[in-house]
Each structure stands twice: as structure tokens, then as C-alpha cells.
Structure 1
Amino acid sequence: MLSARDLFQEILDEDESFRLFCSIAAGGEAQGGWENGRIAALVPESQRALAPRIARHGADEDKHGRIFHALLRKRGLRPVEVPPGTDYTMLLERRGIGLAHERLARRDPLTERDIITYLAHSRVTEQRASEQMALLRRHFGDHPGIGRALRMIADDEDNHLAYCHEELLRLAGAGHGRTIQRLLRECALAEIRVYRDVSLAVMDHMGRILGWSRTRASVLAAGIHLVHAYERLGGWRRMVRLEQPERRDALGGPVPGEAEPF
């Protein structure tokens, strides 16, 4: 059976598959950076204390996008257009999850409910990002070409997840607990479907680039469906639990600067 390490090693070793992987990752991070930047600019007066943390979140996402572009440049590669079926952020938006780009493009201040919606969406998606980066860090954290980049991004994702826990708990204590739990559940159930669909789309593209046999592609697709079945049966609940994080005020530091070469 092909392990996660073996699969990513194969993607890493081939220029075209690595190019697609970094392009998809950079595109998602850039979208996240823009979204957080707009939210920070539109925070309502009642939540103004959150604005610097949201801006820091966006700056981190922008930094991650630059890191993935730097990894491409290091191998003499240029980014490719992200296939529509692999656009995780936009597919979530089409399911009504999070704040729509059309809403964020306007200049009208957000409401407190909008901020709760944003944080619930981020709590769920940052859980996924933290888990994925922890897996890559475990297997490739010492890799001479990408290890440092993976460690940096993984640490940031852990900070983002801690921040979401802390802020949602604060808002729950202010009387928004039921709304938060309902939004978290809606986000989690939508996210696991989108994650399945995006995973299948990415593996389809990778399979064509790497010349996988029909049998191998079918086995990988079956594994993705198996993960989705587990998450539907109850695995999604890990995405909605709230607990005080060990890292407190995780986004309270200075906004990061330019990404260093990798």
C-alpha cells in the first residue's frame, strides 16, 4: 500500500507534479491572505481589538504563498494555472461557507455575526491545514530542499488554529455559544465534502502527470472515499471542539516580513 510519505515523495521528485502542488498551495494561501486582509479592514467597532490579529493571519498566508513560489523558483519552475476542481477556497465559498468574496470586496463594515462566521470557518479550515502540515513536517521536516519551509508553515498553521480556538471561546463566553456551535457544524460537514472532492481532483491530475495505472489511481481514490466515510461518521467532530490552546495570544506578535529564500 502506498504510504503518504511515498506519495508525496513521488510528487516531490517530478518537476511537473511538484509544480502543480506548489501552484495549488500558493493560490490557496494568496486567497486566504486577501480574505483576511479585507476582513481586518472591515472589522466592526465592537471587535476592533481583533483587527491586528486578523491582519497578522493574512500576512502569514501571504508569506506562505511567497514561500511556495520561492520553492518553485529554486527548481527553475514557474507556477501553473490552478485547475478549477482543485480550488478548495472557492469551492467552500460556493457552498456558502465563510464570507463571500463579493461581500468582502465592498467597503461596508462587517457585523459581529460576520466575524463569528469568519472565525468558525477558519477554525475548521485551519484544523485541516494544521493536520496536513503536521504530516508533511513529520515526514519531510528534515528534507534539505523543502524542510525549513514546511516547518515554518506548519508552525504558523498551529498558531492560526490556536487563535481561532481562543477567539471563539471568548465570543462563546459573551453569549454566542449556540451560534458558534451551529456554524462550526455547518462548516465542518461542508468542508469534509469539499476536501474529498478536491483530493480526488488533485489525485486525478497527479495521476495523469505521473502516469499512474488505473489500478493505482483506483486504490488512491478508494482511500480518499474511506477517509470521507470516517469523517462523515464522526471524524468531523474534531473540527468543532473548542478548548483553550497551549499557545495563548498566538497572533499577537509583529506582522512577518518577506519570506526568505528556500
Structure 2
Amino acid sequence: MLSAKSLFQEILDDDESFRLFCSIAASGESQGGWENARIAALVPPDQRDLAPKIARHGADEDKHGRIFDALLKKRGLQPVPVPPDADYTMLLERAGIGLAHDRLRADQPLTVQDVVTYLAHSRVTEQRASEQMELLRKHFADHPDIGRAVRMISHDEDNHLAYCHEELLRLARAGHGRAIQRTLRECALTEIRVHRDVSLAVMSHMGRILGWSRPKAALLAAGVHAVYAGERLAGWHRMVSLTMPERRDALGGPATPAPEFA
């Protein structure tokens, strides 16, 4: 019987599929680290209080990248190039979601609208990351090889999501509510499409590595399309709602080190 647990267990048990999984994850996290570091350096003067939190966000993402690299090293594996069709962060940027890398490479201060764009993009993508890590935590929190990494990353992703809620609500109170809702909706609808495309690409690559039969591959692809249909119909609303989180000031301190993975 196919399930999320059995599917990931299959990927985990094979060196080549595990190598691809960790390489994709490490690349995305490292890219997020760079983006947040640049945004922290460019925030406008009237939003400078955000800079340490954005930097903390970036430091967490860098840490996650190192954790995935360490998981590979632990099994004597080297990273592989990320297939372009499975590069989630690159495809989101190409779709116009978030702040363009050309904008971040320039030394021009960001605007408040840029900050709204960044936080809205993060709120949507961190929702996805939090849910995915929650699923892994549910099934693999006690796994001898990846359990500690799963628990640590899941905790961080929940913090990132709480931070996005709190800061967007602060900006909404400052008069940016309409811009926030408009940007969130645009981000969410684009993200669910990109997530569908990346999921299909990853499943295709994994299927070739693991030798999945055509019926199995078709069933998994149908599942991806079904998830997208549900999200396109109404599921995207969970990505645009804003509620004050229980975890207040979730990124108000330094990043938690991970010496056991570094």
C-alpha cells in the first residue's frame, strides 16, 4: 500500500534517491539563506528592527543546508546537481514570486512594499515547509539516522511561519493590509502550481532511480494532481490567512547552533 511514510522510506533506503533528496533540500535551504542575508542588509531605515530577525531566518536556512549536507556525508555520499525542473526556489523566482535576485544583488535599499513582498512570499513558502516537516516528524522523529535533523528543522520552520504571521499583522496594522492580501493571494496561487510541477519532476526522477513501474508512477502523479486540484479549489486559503501565533517573537534571538551536524 502506498503511503507518505512508505514512499519516503523507499527514498531513504536507497543511496541514490536519498542523495537526490538531500541535494535538492540542501540547495533550496542554502539559496534561502543567501536571500535572507541580502534582504537583512537592504531593509529600509524605518524597518531596521526587522533586520536581525531576517538575518536569523537566513542563518537557520544556512544551518538546514549544512544539516542535509551532513546527512549525505554520514552515508559517504556526495551532493548531486539539482535538476532544473526540480529547483523549487529558482522556479518560484522565474514565476515572479518574491524579490528578484537582481534586485537583491544591487546595493539599493528595499522599500516597504519590497518587505511586504518578502514576508508574503515567506509566509506562503514557510507554510509549505512547515507542513512537509510536520509530516516527516510524524513518521520519522525517532529515526536513528534522520530523526534529530527532522525535529530540529521542523521546529525552525514552525518558528519561521510564526514570525511571518506576526510581522505581516504588524504591517497590516500600519496600513498595508490590502497590499498584503493581494500579494499573499498571488504568491499562494503561483506557489501551488510550482509545487505541483516540482513534485511531478521529483517523482519522475525518483521513479527512474528506484525503478518504479508505470502503474505506480501514474498513481503517484495522479495523487500530485489531486492535491493541486484541492489546493486550487480552496486549499490555498490556508496560505493567506493571518493569525497571531502562539510563538511570539519567534526569531528574536540568535540562531540555534547545530554542532552535531556541522
Query: Deviations along 1:125-175, whole A, 9 cap, x unmatched?
Result: 000000000000000000000000000000000000000000000000000
Alpha-carbon separation, structure 2, partners of 1:95 and 1:20: 24
Alpha-carbon separation, structure 1, partners of 2:259 and 2:52: 20
> Which residue matches 2:228?
228
Shift of 1:237: 0.2
Identical counterparts, % of pairs: 77
> Which residue matches 2:132?
132
Map of 1:1-262 to 2, 5 A cutoff?
A: 1-257=1-257, 259-261=259-261
Shift of 1:253: 1.2
Alpha-carbon separation, structure 1, partners of 2:198 and 2:255: 31
Matched pairs, number? 262
Shift of 1:255: 2.9
Shift of 1:257: 3.6
Amino acid at match of 2:161: L
8 A contact 1:63–1:259 mirrored in 2 = no
Amino acid at match of 1:135: L
Shift of 1:261: 2.7
Alpha-carbon separation, structure 2, partners of 1:131 and 1:152: 14
Query: Deviations along 1:99-123, whole A, 9 cap, x unmatched?
Result: 0011101111101110000000000
8 A contact 1:28–1:88 mirrored in 2 = yes
Shift of 1:35: 0.1
Alpha-carbon separation, structure 2, partners of 1:38 and 1:245: 26
Shift of 1:258: 5.2
Q: 1:245 to 1:120 in 2, by over 3 A?
A: same
Alpha-carbon separation, structure 2, partners of 1:232 and 1:261: 38
Alpha-carbon separation, structure 2, partners of 1:254 and 1:146: 24
Alpha-carbon separation, structure 2, partners of 1:71 and 1:244: 35
Shift of 1:259: 4.3
Alpha-carbon separation, structure 1, partners of 2:76 and 2:129: 27
Alpha-carbon separation, structure 1, partners of 2:204 and 2:238: 28
Amino acid at match of 1:170: R
Match of 2:6, SS state, is: helix
Alpha-carbon separation, structure 2, partners of 1:103 and 1:214: 43
Alpha-carbon separation, structure 1, partners of 2:222 and 2:88: 20
Match of 1:127, SS state, is: helix
8 A contact 2:121–2:187 mirrored in 1 = yes
Structure 2, unaligned stretches of length 5 or more?
none
Structure 1, unaligned stretches of length 5 or more?
none
Q: 1:50 to 1:73 in 2, by over 3 A?
A: same
CA RMSD of aligned residues (A): 0.9
Alpha-carbon separation, structure 2, partners of 1:106 and 1:93: 16
Shift of 1:256: 3.5
Alpha-carbon separation, structure 1, partners of 2:254 and 2:26: 22
Amino acid at match of 1:108: Q
